[in-house]
Structure formats: structure tokens, C-alpha cells
Structure 1
Amino acid sequence: MDKPSTLLVHFDKGSAAMANEIKADLEGSDVAAKVEAMKRAVMLLLNGETLPTLFITIVRYVLPSEDHTIQKLLLLYLEIIDKRDAAGRVLPEMILICQNLRNNLQHPNEYIRGVTLRFLCRLSEPEVLEPLVPSILENLEHRHHFIRRHALSAISAIYRLPQGDQLIPDAPELVERALASEQDASARRNAFVMLCLCGTERAVAYLLSNAERVMEWPDLLQMAAVDLIRKVCRPPNRADKGRYIKIIFSLRSSPSTAVLYECAGAIVSLSSAPTAVRAAAETYCQLLSSQSDNNVRLILLDRLNELHTSHRDVMVDVVMDVLRALASPNLDVKRKVLDLVLDLLTPRNVEEVVLYLKKEVVKTQSGELEKGGEYRQMLVQAIHACAVEYPEVAGSVVHLLMDFLGDTNVAAAVDVVLFVREIIETNPKLRVSMIQRLSDTFYQIRASRVCSIALWILGEYSLSLSEVESAIATIKQCLGDLPFFTISEEGETTDSSKPAQLVVNSVTVSSRRPVVLADGTYATQSAATEAISTPSVTPGSLALTLNLRSLILSGDFFLAAVVACTLTKLVLRLEEVQPSKVEANKACTGALLVMTSILQLGLSSYLPQPIDNDSYDRIVLCVRLLCNTGDDVRRIWLQSCRQSFAKMLAEKQFRETEEMRAKAQISHAQPDDLIDFYHLKSRKVAVNTVIQDEKKFLNHVIKSTNMKCLTPLSALDGECGYIAANLYAKSVFGEDALVNISIEKQVDGKLSGYIRIRSKTQGIALSLGDKITLKQKGGS
């Protein structure tokens, strides 16, 4: 479509036969058939068909119709047809249309008048409009507001045409008088908008004279007033800007949410004063808490984020108002709220923010929230970020979050344990209580990855005697009885720690049978076998504490290797803090029993998959270390691991600080700052020579590189202290190279500048760069 249109309707491409059918239906007397024929004609025209023979038919058989639907379709048809010939002159047939339009403008039916006036808003031919102007103006005083409303729109559209001021020269005066007496909200809005577009001084005078009554205006007129204020206050040094801002501030108490949104945007565009920005932010926050549509909330959060970018200090004061939007059930809204709030943290508000987030975490425990696990994960990540930036608030939330180590949402549980690992390193005051809490809640953990990290924490930060013994006891309790399996007389392997509480509908069969002992004598042995059907786990039962055992028996030998490493660290530390060597040896023996049991399990046929080589080697290494420990090994296991982790955290914090600093520099960039296009940089060679004459240096580079100077000699004549030249060469392999020399003579007589190299082959560029660097230093 290459023609402008106010509507577009899909329709399959028509044919000449369809045009004949349309013509036949229009010539008939059936009203319903005429309506369908007009619809098809309009759709064909919209899709590029011309239908040149249809116009006369419509003039003869459609214009006289009194049916409202046909009249509306006729106006659509007139809107989209070509009204000018190839020379640009209005078609003579349009004179027939003018008479019909004049009759419609004087029609006794209000609907016919209204839709005709609305059609004239989209007509741009002065020759057609000129005879209709008197009838249009008469409709300004019609008793029905529907007609007056569209008459004002038609006058506005006509006056804005290139020759509109000749068609209705006194349009602003007429509209101003109509506005003074108009009562209909839409008609007043149309009149005011016309004055804003065509008579700004009159619109401003009307607004200022009614400044005290703006709050009583309908919302459509209030929004038009806000648009006018934006327009007239666009010059930055307007002296009476304060009067307009006062009107905007008064509109902030409007009951219309659309007006409030427009007012907030207008305030920010008119003034950057902290009071004005705070008022806009408060308005956005008010809408954010009152609107239920998620799309509206996302838009409001975008506006608040824009304010945060340019007015962060002001936005800090409305952080708690923004947080109330977490009541929205939509996760996208929650995520945007948390991202915005985290960027607005300060030492003054961080405690209040963390307390609010803590309450939100507690709410997720009820199970009433949809997607509560994902929301809890977002909250944990937000609290983690708060605690990392402001470690003093970690103590108020870390113990609460540790209750979620056994969360069914594995991602949330992983975030919690990572948070615990980071806080326990960066906040030494909380280590004792956190280790105790971790030992108490360790049995709740069900995810392998969470178990691995929690074990690492226990192994690294259990420092006192009581902490080490508690950690060892916790691990043994979660592993259960050893070995992990036993072999019955029938040759079947069974889990040796199956408790009686787990057996439902179990059948115990006892038998006494003779067996042959090692010395060849006979003895009687009692055997009991259990047939376990459906296990039933009740709260507080033994099965809840056997998380490590369940994971290892499922074939997770990586976790088993972590258990071995953790026990090794704990035993090595116990040897340092335990005064009794006997107790230390007992702990070492118990750890070795665990490791050998794991190896026995991994090498048996009890599990379908045997232990992997990496885990096997790691566990064997732990066994060897406990059997023969040197000082260097002890230092590595008890100190170096934690030091490496502390170094990793320091580097992470440094990277985050640098990223924040870079973002701050970008946000505070000035229009005249230099832009560094990294990908446009070429191979960064700096001029470093003792040669003090520009031309001598250029000749030296040409001679050193065997290149040809493309810059004409005439361009190098004269003495100005600057020189720029392009050199070119082709290697024996046909590879092109281009060198640009740009140098300047300093006050002290030395040369400075850069030599830039271009080549499709990196090797050529590198070799040329090395040669130039080497030669220019020894050039003199």
C-alpha cells in the first residue's frame, strides 16, 4: 500500500467478476445486499484494486439511501478513493459528493451529521471543503453534544490544512467562544486541543484564567492541559514556568490515574529540582501500589528506574514505597522491584529493606503464594546482595535463611548455602553461631550440591574442639550404620541401616540352620530376613537424618568424596585442638572406617554403577593422608583452601566494584566527552625516537619497511610541526599492508604520535609493528 489510509482490513485479492457482482448488488433494491456490496468494495479498494466504473453506480444508487449503515460505508468509500486526477485537479464527480455531504450536515438525524463531520476531519481537498464550511460552523451550536464534539474536530482539522486559514480565518475565535459555553467533556477537550494546536496564546490565557478550577475539569481536559504546559514550558528559561508547575502539582490530587501518570512525567520534564523529582517519584509509587494490571506496573517501574538513573539521591527516600509493589503476584514485577531496590541501598535504609525482605521470606513458608519457591530464591539472592554490600545486616537474616537449606526448590537452597559460605568468611563474628546452626540443620538438606557446599563449610570453619566434634558427629549421624550394605546367606546385598520404623507390612522369617565353622565343626546360626514394601517416613523419624546415606546409596560418589575430604580436614584439626591423643585416634579410625566403607560400596555390585576414578583416587588420597600426615600437607588442607576462597571473594568484590564504577561513569557521561570505540582501534605503535625532524623520521620508516609513500610530496612541503602520511606495501605472497603515520613535534623538539597498521593478515601487521618499533629506537 502506497496510499495513506486511516484503516486497513485484510481481504483476499478480488477479481473483475467480483466487481460486476458488487455493481449488480448496488443497483438492486435489497438493503442487506447493498451493505455487503459496499463492504466488499471498501475492502477491494483497501487492497489495491481501482474499480473505476463503480463510482457512478454509487452516486446513482447509494447516495440517495437513508440507511445508516450504508451511509457510514459510503463515507469510508469516499475516504479511500482517489479524489484527484493525474494532474492533481479535483475530479469533477466530487461536486456531486459535495451536495450529498451538505445534505448530511443538515440532516435531522444526529448520527448522520456526526459521522459526516468525523469524515470531514480526514478530507484534505480545499475545493471540496469550501462549500461545506457554513454548514460545519452551524453545527457548533447544535443542541446535541455528539454533533458539537465532531464539529470542533472538523474545524481543527480544516484550519490545520495548508489553506485552512483561508477557509475558516476566524476559527480560533469561534472555538474559544464555543469553549467558554461548552459543557460536554469531550467537546471541551476537542476545543481546547484545537486552541493548543492553532492558537496557543488563547489556550494559555484560558488555562491561566481557570487555574483555580483546573481540579474541577474532566480528566480528558486535564490531560490536554498537561500537554499544553509541556509545550509552552519547553524553552528552558521561561520566566513564568512556576505558574504552570503549580497547576501540575494541583493536578496530582486528581482521581484519574491517567492524569496522575501524565503529571508525574510532566513534572520531571519541566524541573530537575529535588522537590519536583520527589513529587514525581511519589506519584509513580502511588500508582504502583494502586494498579492491579501487571503491564501498568512494569511501565511504572521503568519510569522509576529512569528517575533512579538521573536522580538517585531523591529515589533513595522512596525505597520502602517501591518495596510495597512486592505484593504483586507477578514474578516479573517482583524481579524489577528487587533490582531497583538493590540499586538504591544506602547505610541509612539497608536495615529497613532487609527487614522487609525477611518478612517476605517468612510469607513464602505458608505455601499460599504461587511459585513461592522461585520468589523465595529471588528474595535470598536480594538479601545475599544486601549482606555482601553491608555485612552488618547479615546477622539479622542469616539464621532465618539457613532454615531453607532443605528447601524443595534446589536453586533457592543453593543460593542460601552460597550466601552462608560467603557471610561466614566475610563476617567472622557470626562464625560460631552459624557453624552451630549449620550442624543443627544439616540433616534437613536433601540436594547433593547443597550438601557438598555445607560439608565444605563445616570442614573449613569448624575451629574449636566442640565445633569439630559436633561436625564429625553430625556427618556420622547422617551416614548411618556402617558398612553401607551386608551380604545375607542367600548372597543378597541389603542396606544395613534399614530401621524398623521404615517397614510397613514387613514379614520377618526366622530360621535355624547348621553351618560349618573354620575348624570344621558344626554350629547353629539364626537368620532373619525382612521383606520391605512401601517405606513410610514420618516427621522426626530416623530416615530424615540419613540424607548423606541416601544420596551416596543412589550412586553420588562425588558427594562421597566430599564427605571423605571433610572428615580428613576435621580429623587433622582435631589432632591440633584435642589434648587427648586417644580421642583423636578414635576419630581418625572412625573416619577411615567411613572411607573404606564408601570404597567397598563403590567397588561392589550393590549399585548398578561403580565408583568413578576421580572420586576413588580422591578418597584413597584422604586415607593415605590420615595414615601419614606431614606438616606441608596439613598446612595445605587446613589453611590454603580457605585462603584461596578468601582471595576469590576479594577478586569478586573488586570486579563488582569496578563494574559499578564503570556504570557510574557511563551514567554521568557528558555530551562533549570523548567516545572510545574499542573495535575501531587498530594496532595501539607509539612513536619513540631520537629523530627530531618529521620528514627525516618519515623517510627513516619508509627505508626501514621498504614501503611506498602514497601521500604526494607537495602535501608534505612546509614547516608546521605536524605530518601525516600513508605508506603501502605488498608482500611476496600478495598480502597488502597499509601504514598511517601521524606525528607532532613537541615544544622540547621531540616527536610524538602514533603509527597505525592495517592488514587483512595479522602476521603482517605484527611483523611490521615489531620492525617499526625496533628500527625507530635505533634510527639515529
Structure 2
Amino acid sequence: MSESGYTLIYDPNAASKTSVNEFKTLLEKGKDEAKVEAMKKILISILNGDPMPDLLMHIIRFVMPSKNKELKKLLYHYWEVCPKMDDQGKMRHEMILVCNAIQRDLQHPNEYIRGNTLRYLTKLKEAELLETLVPNVRQCLEHRHAYVRKNAVFALHSIHKVNDHLVPDADELIYKFLYEESDSVCKRNAFVCLGDLNRDASLQYIQDNISIIETLDPLLQLAFIEFIRKDSVQNPVLKSQYTNLVTDIIESSSNVVVYEAANALTVLSNNPQSILLAGSKYVELATKEADNNVKIITLERINDLHKKNPGVLQELSLEILRVLSSQDLDVRKKALDVTLQFVTSRNVEDVVKLLKTELQRTSSANEDKSAEYRQLLINAIHQLAIKFVEVAANVIDLLLESMSDLNTTAAYEVITFVKEVVEKFPDLRKTIITRLISVLPSIKSGKVFRGAFWIIGEYALEESLVQEAWKYIRSSIGEVPIVASEKRAAEGNAPDVEEYSNGSTEHTKKGPVVLPDGTYATESALTAEVKDTSNDEKPPVRKHILDGDFYLAAVLSSTLVKLVLRLHRLKASQSVLNASKAEALLIMVSILRAGESSYVAKKIDEDSADRILSYIKVLNEEDDLELISAGFLDETKDAFTAQIQSAELKKAEEQARDFHENAEQVDGSIVFRQFDKDNAAKSAAVDDVSLASGSALKKEDLSSRLNKILQLTGFSDPIYAEAFVKVHQYDVTLDVLLVNQTTATLRNLSIEFATLGDLKVVDKPATANVGPHGFYKIQTTVKVTSADTGVIFGNIVYDGQHSDESTIVILNDVHVDIMDYIKPATCSESQFRKMWNEFEWENKITIKSQIPTLKEYLDELMKGTNMNCLTPGAVIGEECQFLSANLYSRSSFGEDALANLCIEKQSDGPIIGHVRIRSKGQGLALSLGDRVASISRKNKPASVIKV
């Protein structure tokens, strides 16, 4: 009979072992505390392969009589693992004494000692020892305390499994016990044992309790479900009856039982009614259960159920949205994701109506993370409107109405959504543009203004829409020229204020006001009031321009040019066209003058000034008007259309890839491995055993290890050391080879490692004695907690010729490459911008590279930093001398890394520019910056020219 396998327990220092005689001394003369420590060491030694049979009698004599609770527990662990047979395979005589002690414990007046002893019996596999204990176990079945009875049932079952002759009537005893028992835990244990021993008796017990199955204890109901699930695999004929039974159990009051019954129901039956019942119970659990983890798990179950049974759970979409009442953002996000899978043209209007109500409710709510929740709702409504054209118009109206209540990020999401809808549904353009123009006065953010102006410039295709938009733009800027009107306003207010200030001091000064910096305030209340009022009364776009938002001013100028060109294309009357052109020129010149004046918060930047000047030149051009119109009115729209089509194509490709990975071809051949003589099926199917053992996985080329071997010491050192560094997901394993290069034995040789960075050495290698020119291999593990550049350093220590001497050999440093922990990832543009604004650490690297093209540099950067380019391919031109792109990656530890690349290819010169890296932690930003700098230093390989 093969010996049982046990778990290995780590021994901190295997070199200094305690001898058997020392253990005997500790057990004989030590106190209970010393005996406890000795027993722990003995157990570690036995579990690690040293049986120490000579200690058995000492433990019987000096440990067994003790009444110390911890020592008694360790004693039962010892009985479990100690060698019970002699060299001839016969039971050792000392075990008779052990058996007597166990028998006494089974009759002990303390019920917990009895219960603990019965638990030990479930692990005892020697029939000779168990034979004498059976009568005592039978008596324990009738003990007054439930703790003893529940362990006695398991003990009886275990004894029967070891040898059925020891308890031939075990199933009858348990069956009788089941009917007489009142404790729920005991009944559960008894039914579990009965289900394993006697299937017919278990079925009979279930049959006898069918009428009250809904009111049974949840523990017993769970046992029923587990039995049904196992038995249905062996007896598929009974699946329909089991389905009816589980359908009754699923109406239980216990949430745990409902969840397990729903799981069992999905396994037992593919009937749509059963699937729908299970799905509705999952939804009920997600709604009722307070634990957020349970909500997410049940929602994931619903999602899996929908994938396996498409179309069955569609009517649950509104029920799932009840989970939105939860306060947790992750739960709400999961509920929305799952619901969007179920929406069809039949229920889309109801779902949108409910999401509308939720959005309106959160607009006035002040709960935490309400802004992020609103953004989730907007994204969900966005997806539904794109997918179902019949709800797009209503959705647009709702979102535009609520835009004044949204924060900047959510309002910008609405504008982005409107862009896509206007492009995809030409029939809705006029309605949407009219609605957008009507809500422009409620917009507060410059970013949202920019998006709205772009939409108006591109899609206001009728003269009436152009006139409406122009009217609003003109009113939103206020009186022009801006500088003259601001100067006149300032001069108009100044005399009044000055006159009031120069009047009697009793009106202007009500006592000294001390400012936060310790100085006295000299401004009167009236002056402050005039400033605040004048600031609030300014038109919105004018206010943004005076606050220094000249990017908005440039976009506004572009929109004005587009509207003038649109009027020209629509053959508007010459008087209207000339008036519009003159007004547009006046507004743009006014913005340029205001940007250089003292009335703005900051001066206009060069880029915005150049753009506005170029727009002024465009409006004054008369010759190439058709070419200019095509550039402004057609090409920008075509570029946006191409971007949307590219995104849709990418999404369709991902869905097709997922489908093909999970689908099996109709005409694919069926390969039976058992009948395959020529091993032709090796590529088509992998042996289950090899798959389970891991040998079917991609094997590492052993020669590639040579590239990863690091030399830790020099060849002239007394100890030569080299290490193979293997990186797993969350740890680094060092396989170190030590070679004794001397002619003497190195005693007590140990290697110690320390780390710098977010690394932690998990274990300390054991000490050893290495003979002359001997080899010694050790392995140590280092835990990694973040994607930060880490350094492992250490030394080797061994004893010298005298006992008080020791020699130390310093090891070379091992640098952990962070690229093993960083993987390319994707995120939406809004998520990228949000993280970019939130992350506090930035590392800006100036680039000067000899790589020939911008595209090659981008590819090299993505390869070297494991980052993914988020900028669509259409935006990265081949012929352009400039390149700007956003990159994103995510570490194995959930850390986000963002990068923005801005580079320029000089004519006959290097690539110059910079990369800005942002992350939450400093280490990741600095580490990636070092990689970027090293990539920039790469030169173009020299070409060999034949002379």
C-alpha cells in the first residue's frame, strides 16, 4: 500500500537540525511550552520526509498524559502523520497504547474532546486500529451533544470507506439516525454520508420529504441540491424529475439555497422556462442581497446564462435595472453592461424610458460619485441610440435638455454622442441642430462649446439653420470690437466708483479688513460688487475669451468661416453673404486685438493667433473659393466619417474574432484520439492528462535560458555564482548555481539577498557545506508588488578556517525589468483624459532620434514600452512631418501608465520632440521614462555599401 502524501512545510534553516536525542530530552524534562515547540519541530521534520520512528514511545510517555489543550491538538496531528507500521509492514506494538488513549478520549466527559477525537478518526486509514474503536463511535451517535453526533456520523462514514466489514450496516445506521435526529447540522452531515453510501436510501428520504421540501432547513436543502447535481450526471434519465424538485426548492427563503438551486437548474435543463426561472431568481438575489460582491457575481451569472441561451432572458432587462438602486458604482456599471446585452427593438423604448428617469433623478442628487454614475447612464443611452434608430431622436432631446445640469465631462460625452448620431442618421440632422442651437445658452464649459460649434459648422446644411446659429454666436460674443467695449465699460464704471471712494470715509470704510496674507484690504464693498456683477453679466463665449480660452476662440473662428462658405455654397443673397463675411472678419480681428490687450486673463498663444489670422486670409480670398470650400466643408467631415467607420470596423472585427474562437466549423472533422494511429490528431487535440499536468503548454527553449543568465561573481572569486532569473506574474524566481573554486570544503555557506524598490524576499536559502570544486544549487523567490524598477543585491557568507572567522563575497546587482509586468491596454478617449488630469506624476522626456521615419519611431516606442496606441490609424499620416499620439498600458498590479507623444521629422535631420508620461505613482513614470530615453538613443543601422 502506497503511503499518503502530505503538504511540505517550509523549514527556515534545514542545515541546523535538532537531533532525535535532543528531542527526547526536550520531551522528558521540558515544560508544556517547550514540549509544544518541540512537537511543532517534530511535525515539520516528519512532513518533510524524516519519519523519526524512535520518538514514538517518548511521545506516548511524556506528551500523551498532558492535559494542555494545544499539546493535545498537536498530538492528534502527530498520530495522523507518524509511521504506524514497522519495516515488515506490520502494525507497531506501541500503537496499542495509542489506541487505548483514543478510546479513552472517545469516552471523555468533555464533548469537545470527544468531537475532536472523532474528527481525527476521519483521517485514520488503518483498519486494525479502527476495529477496536467502532463500538465507541456507535455510542457517540447517541450522545446528548450535537457537536459529538455530527462528527460521529462522518467518522462512521470514513470507517466504512476504509473497510466496509468494520461497519457493514453503516447505511442503515445513518438512515435511522436521519429520521431520529433533530439538529439541522447533524441531519445535513448524515444525508451527505448517506448519499455516498446508499443512493436508493437517499432517494427514499428525499421522496419522503417532498411535501415539506420548501420548509426544510437550508443546510439540508443544500445537501439535496448537491446530491441531485451529482446523481443527474450518473442517471440522466431522472433529469426531468430532478428539475421539478429543484424548481420547488428554489422557492426557499434562504438566499444561499436559491443561488445554488438556480445554478443546479441551469445544469439540469435547457428548457426556456427553467432558464427564465433561474435568471429571475438571480435578478431577485442581485436586488435583495446587500453584499455588493453577491450582486456582481449574480449579474455575471445572468450574463453567462444569456451567452449560452441567447434570447431567453430578454424580458428581464427592466428587472435587472432595479439593481441601479445600489449605491456602489461597480454594481451599477455591471447592471448596465448586462442589460445592454438583452435590449432588442421590442423593449428598447422601455429601457430608455427607465434610464431617462434615472438620469433625471441623479441630476438633482448630491450623492457620492453621482457625476461618474451620470456618465455611465449617458454612455448606456448613447449605445442604445446608436444601435436603435427609433429612439435616437428622443434620446437626443433628453440629453440636450439635461446638459445644463451635467458636469463638464458628462456634457462633453453628450456632445461627442451628438456628433456620432448626426453623422450616422442624416434624417435627424435638422431636428438635432435646431435643438442644439436652442440649448447653447445653457452651456457653461468651453470644451462643450467647442464640440457644439464644430457640429454646427459641419452639419448646419440649410440657410435657416445657418442664420439661427449665426444669431446665437453673435449674441454670445456681445458688443464688438471687444477692446473698445471693455474700455468703455471700464471707463463708465470707474468715475462712479472713484467718486464714491473719494467721498466721506464713513460710507466706504467700515473698519479695517485683514486679508489671509496679513495685509489690510482697501477695496470698498461697492467696487467688489460692481466687478462681480459685470463679470456675471457678460455673454458666455465672451467671458471664456476674456478668461484666456483662445482655443475656443480659434474653433469659433473656424465655425464662422464654415458658415460663410456654407452660405456661399447655398447661393445666399449677396447682401447676406457680404454682411456675414464682414461680421465674421470683425469678430476675428476683435478677438486678436483683445488677445494682445490688458483686458484678458492671459495673452493669446501663438498657435491660436496664427489660426485666426489664417482664417481671416481665407475669407479675403476670392480666387480659390471652391478649393477652400472643399477643404473646410468636405474634407473635415470625410475625416470624421472615416474615423467612425474605422471604430465600427474594429468593433466588428473583435466580435467576429470572439465568435470564431468559440465556434466550431460545421464541416470540421471529428478526431478520436483513441483511434489515431499516425498521431495526426496531435495538432487538433491535446491529451487531457498532459493538459492537466501542464506539459501540453508551450515549452521553453532551454537554449534561450542562456540569454537570461546573469553572472553574480567574478571568475577569480573563491565562489563562482550565476543566476537564471525567471519572472512569473507576481514574483521573480532566482535559480542560483554556486561553484566552489577552492580545494577546501566551504562550511556553513549561505547566500543572503536584499532588495531595493517594491520587492520583498520571501524565503531565505538554507545553509550548506560545499566540497572542493563542488556545485550547489539554490532557489529563492522575490515578491513583486508594483511595476517599478527593482534591484536585488546580496552576498555569500561562509566560515573560515577558524570558528570565529567568516568570508564574505559581494554579488553583482540584479535589475528586475518592469516590461515583464506592463501589458498593452485600451481605454476610451474620455477615460484617458480623465486619468491624465487626475494623475499627479509626470515625466517629460526630450527626444532626438536617428530613426528614419515617424511611424517607425512610434512602432519602436510601442514595442519597447509595451504600450498600445489609442490614436486611430487614420489620424497618423504617412506623409506628414508631425506626429501626435496617445499611448496607454496597464501593469499586472492594476497601475495605469499614460503617454503623449509629440514628434517632428526635420528635413534631412533627426526626429525631435518629447514624450510626456503620467502615472499615479512616481516609480512607474520614471521607469518608463528610462525606457523611452534608451529607445531614443537607438541609431539607424549603418548600411554596407559595396565599393
TM-score (norm 1): 0.73
Deviation string for 1:225-255 (max 9, x for gaps)? 111111121157x333222111100001111
Q: Give the distance between the partners of 1:240 and 1:459, measured in 2 at CA.
A: 69
Matched, 1:612 2:606: yes
Deviation at 1:258, TM superposition (A): 1.1
Q: Give the distance between the partners of 2:497 and 2:225, measured in 1 at CA.
A: 80
Q: Give the distance between the partners of 2:92 and 2:525, measured in 1 at CA.
A: 99
User: What amino acid sits opposite 1:425 in the alignment?
Assistant: E
Q: How does 1:542-621 map to 2 (within 5 A)?
A: 543=536, 546-553=539-546, 556-575=549-568, 581-600=574-593, 611-613=605-607, 615-621=608-614
Q: Secondary structure at the match of 2:64?
A: coil
Partner of 2:101: 100
Q: Which residue among 388, 394, 398 is the counterpart of 2:386? A: 388
Q: Which moved more, 1:38-47 or 1:241-250?
A: 38-47
Partner of 1:398: 396
Q: How does 1:4-19 map to 2 (within 5 A)?
A: 4=5
Deviation at 1:108, TM superposition (A): 2.3
| Greater helix fraction, Structure 1 or Structure 2 | 1
User: What amino acid sits opposite 1:588 in the alignment?
Assistant: K
Q: Secondary structure at the match of 2:141?
A: helix
Deviation at 1:134, TM superposition (A): 2.1
CA contact (8 A) 1:34 1:70 kept: yes
User: What amino acid sits opposite 1:151 in the alignment?
Assistant: A
Q: Give the distance between the partners of 1:72 and 1:573, measured in 2 at CA.
A: 90
Q: Which residue among 476, 481, 495 is the counterpart of 2:474? A: 476
Q: Secondary structure at the match of 1:167?
A: coil
Q: Give the distance between the partners of 2:464 and 2:581, measured in 1 at CA.
A: 16
| Identity score, percent | 36
Partner of 2:853: none
Q: Give the distance between the partners of 1:328 and 1:262, measured in 2 at CA.
A: 23
Partner of 1:271: 269
Q: Which residue among 319, 322, 340 is the counterpart of 1:321? A: 319
Deviation string for 1:454-474 (max 9, x for gaps)? 111111233444432332233
CA contact (8 A) 2:597 2:603 kept: no
Partner of 1:200: 199
Q: Give the distance between the partners of 2:80 and 2:293, measured in 1 at CA.
A: 36
Q: How does 1:599-748 map to 2 (within 5 A)?
A: 599-600=592-593, 611-613=605-607, 615-629=608-622, 630-642=625-637, 644-646=639-641, 648-650=643-645, 652-653=647-648, 655-657=650-652, 659-661=654-656, 663-664=658-659, 666-669=661-664, 673=668
- 1:484/1:212 Cα in 2 relative to 1: closer, same or farther (>3 Å)? same
Partner of 1:171: 170
CA contact (8 A) 1:234 1:270 kept: no
CA contact (8 A) 1:405 1:417 kept: no
TM-score (norm 2): 0.61
User: What amino acid sits opposite 2:363 in the alignment?
Assistant: Q
Q: Give the distance between the partners of 2:146 and 2:208, measured in 1 at CA.
A: 24
CA contact (8 A) 2:360 2:402 kept: no
Partner of 2:359: 361
Q: Which moved more, 1:666-675 or 1:460-469?
A: 666-675
Q: Secondary structure at the match of 2:297?
A: helix
Q: Give the distance between the partners of 1:566 and 1:419, measured in 2 at CA.
A: 19
Partner of 1:431: 429
Q: Secondary structure at the match of 1:108?
A: coil
Q: Give the distance between the partners of 1:621 and 1:40, measured in 2 at CA.
A: 85
Q: Which moved more, 1:563-572 or 1:474-483?
A: 474-483
Partner of 2:330: 332
CA contact (8 A) 1:139 1:151 kept: yes
Deviation at 1:348, TM superposition (A): 0.5
- 1:667/1:325 Cα in 2 relative to 1: closer, same or farther (>3 Å)? farther
Number of residues of Structure 1 aligned to a counterpart in Structure 2? 646
- 1:181/1:672 Cα in 2 relative to 1: closer, same or farther (>3 Å)? farther
Partner of 1:524: none
Deviation at 1:371, TM superposition (A): 0.9
Matched, 1:128 2:134: no
CA contact (8 A) 1:444 1:547 kept: no
- Structure 2: runs of 5 or more not aligned: 503-522, 671-682, 684-947
Q: Give the distance between the partners of 2:94 and 2:539, measured in 1 at CA.
A: 94
- 1:221/1:547 Cα in 2 relative to 1: closer, same or farther (>3 Å)? same
Q: Give the distance between the partners of 2:171 and 2:411, measured in 1 at CA.
A: 69
Partner of 2:285: 287
User: What amino acid sits opposite 1:125 in the alignment?
Assistant: E
User: What amino acid sits opposite 1:187 in the alignment?
Assistant: C
- 1:661/1:190 Cα in 2 relative to 1: closer, same or farther (>3 Å)? same
Q: Give the distance between the partners of 1:509 and 1:71, measured in 2 at CA.
A: 95
Q: Give the distance between the partners of 2:52 and 2:497, measured in 1 at CA.
A: 89
- 1:554/1:45 Cα in 2 relative to 1: closer, same or farther (>3 Å)? farther
- 1:603/1:277 Cα in 2 relative to 1: closer, same or farther (>3 Å)? same
Partner of 2:718: none
CA contact (8 A) 2:362 2:370 kept: yes
Partner of 2:340: 342
Q: Which moved more, 1:390-399 or 1:261-270?
A: 390-399
Q: Give the distance between the partners of 1:205 and 1:223, measured in 2 at CA.
A: 17
Q: Give the distance between the partners of 1:336 and 1:9, measured in 2 at CA.
A: 42
Larger Rg over CA atoms: 1
Q: Give the distance between the partners of 1:556 and 1:316, measured in 2 at CA.
A: 48
- 1:144/1:477 Cα in 2 relative to 1: closer, same or farther (>3 Å)? same
CA RMSD of aligned residues (A): 4.1
Deviation at 1:434, TM superposition (A): 2.9
Q: Give the distance between the partners of 2:361 and 2:104, measured in 1 at CA.
A: 69
Q: Secondary structure at the match of 1:397?
A: helix
Q: Secondary structure at the match of 2:605?
A: coil
Deviation string for 1:541-588 (max 9, x for gaps)? 863765434544555544332111100112233456696543432322
Deviation at 1:510, TM superposition (A): 11
Q: Give the distance between the partners of 2:387 and 2:147, measured in 1 at CA.
A: 61
Q: Which residue among 292, 304, 312 is the counterpart of 2:302? A: 304
- 1:674/1:436 Cα in 2 relative to 1: closer, same or farther (>3 Å)? farther
- 1:537/1:47 Cα in 2 relative to 1: closer, same or farther (>3 Å)? farther
CA contact (8 A) 2:282 2:302 kept: yes
Q: Give the distance between the partners of 2:408 and 2:263, measured in 1 at CA.
A: 42
Deviation at 1:189, TM superposition (A): 1.1
Deviation at 1:46, TM superposition (A): 6.5
Q: Give the distance between the partners of 2:86 and 2:489, measured in 1 at CA.
A: 98
Q: How does 1:90-239 map to 2 (within 5 A)?
A: 90-161=91-162, 164-235=163-234, 238-239=236-237
Q: Which residue among 234, 248, 251 is the counterpart of 1:250? A: 248
Q: Give the distance between the partners of 1:351 and 1:7, measured in 2 at CA.
A: 61
Deviation string for 1:692-737 (max 9, x for gaps)? xxxxxxxxxxxxxxxxxxxxxxxxxxxxxxxxxxxxxxxxxxxxxx
User: What amino acid sits opposite 1:93 in the alignment?
Assistant: E
Q: Which moved more, 1:652-661 or 1:376-385?
A: 652-661
Deviation at 1:339, TM superposition (A): 1.5
- 1:250/1:312 Cα in 2 relative to 1: closer, same or farther (>3 Å)? same
Partner of 1:691: none
Deviation at 1:199, TM superposition (A): 2.1
Q: Give the distance between the partners of 2:563 and 2:524, measured in 1 at CA.
A: 37
Deviation at 1:402, TM superposition (A): 1.9
CA contact (8 A) 1:480 1:497 kept: no
Q: Give the distance between the partners of 2:33 and 2:125, measured in 1 at CA.
A: 31
Q: How does 1:24-103 map to 2 (within 5 A)?
A: 27=28, 55-84=56-85, 89-103=90-104
Deviation at 1:133, TM superposition (A): 1.8
Partner of 2:776: none
Deviation string for 1:384-423 (max 9, x for gaps)? 1100010111222222212454666443222111111122
Matched, 1:241 2:239: yes
